[in-house]
């Protein structure tokens, strides 16, 4: 299986990296950015920044995000952008749930991205906001944060902290000089995931987004 799929829009446009979903091509396609859909992701391994207990019985977070990010930056990005025929684009990453956590992790761990969408991201992850506080961003960025207004109602005590973690993340990003928006969406974690990502993508590609960089 190919590691990624492309939804090209133009050589002079930004490139946004997303995590593949069967409905994504028609739901998120845009004429304002090239989209790269990353495939074959082991969510509990590839998207978690360090080992931690799983959120549910029988689940284990093995903390392979560093290795996965290296694969993306060293192999997937050069291959995808060569196929798109783009050079030095504005580059973003957008994810939902654990992929939203990974999107922020990528922003903090590499200078490859200047745009980031963290939608209902798992910011309750053990030690995550402490990591943000200890690792200031190395380049200017534009970040969209959003979470459902009922996600804090979770019976899982770790996951119930998610809104507080988003508010802390927003504060840290602002203190680090980042352009950031925070949106409370109606509903729980599972309500309108693609629509929430669409809104995040539209904001990231808004009028104040630079069309070059990277």
Q: Contacts from 158-165 at CB under 8 Å and sequence distance 24+?
A: 158/55, 158/124, 158/126, 159/55, 159/122, 159/124, 160/124, 161/124, 162/120, 162/122, 162/123, 162/124, 165/123, 165/124, 165/128, 165/129
- Summarize the confidence of residues 116-122 as an average pLDDT: 97
pTM for the whole structure:
0.92
CA-to-CA distance for 70 and 210, rounded, in angstroms?
25
CA-to-CA distance for 73 and 37, rounded, in angstroms?
14
pLDDT > 90? residue 89: yes
Of 76, 99, 101, 2, the closest CA to residue 91 belongs to 76
Binning pLDDT at 50, 70 and 90, where does residue 58 land?
A: confident
Q: Which pLDDT score is estimated for 27? A: 78
Q: Of residues 212 and 107, which shows the higher confidence score? A: 107
Q: Does domain 4-204 have CATH number 3.40.50.720?
A: no
Q: Which pLDDT score is estimated for 213? A: 44
């Amino acid at each position: 299986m190919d590691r990624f799929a492309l939804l090209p829009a133009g050589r002079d446009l930004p490139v946004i990296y997303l995590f593949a979903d069967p409905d994504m091509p028609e739901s998120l396609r845009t004429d304002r950015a090239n989209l790269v859909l990353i495939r074959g992701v082991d969510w509990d391994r590839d998207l978690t920044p360090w080992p931690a207990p799983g959120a549910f019985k029988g689940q284990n977070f093995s903390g392979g995000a560093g290795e996965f990010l290296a694969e993306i930056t060293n192999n997937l990005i050069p291959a995808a952008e060569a196929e798109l025929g783009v050079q030095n684009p504005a580059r973003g990453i957008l994810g939902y749930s654990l992929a939203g956590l990974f999107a922020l992790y990528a922003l903090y761990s590499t200078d490859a991205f200047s745009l980031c969408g963290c939608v209902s991201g798992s910011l309750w992850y053990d030690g995550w906001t402490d990591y943000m506080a200890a690792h200031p961003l190395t380049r200017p960025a534009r970040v969209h944060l959003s979470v459902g207004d009922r996600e804090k109602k979770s019976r899982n005590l770790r996951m119930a902290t998610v809104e507080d973690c988003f508010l802390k993340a927003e504060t840290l990003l602002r203190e680090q000089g980042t352009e950031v928006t925070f949106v409370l969406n109606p509903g729980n974690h599972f309500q309108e995931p693609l629509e929430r990502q669409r809104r995040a993508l539209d904001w990231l590609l808004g009028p104040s987004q630079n069309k070059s960089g990277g």
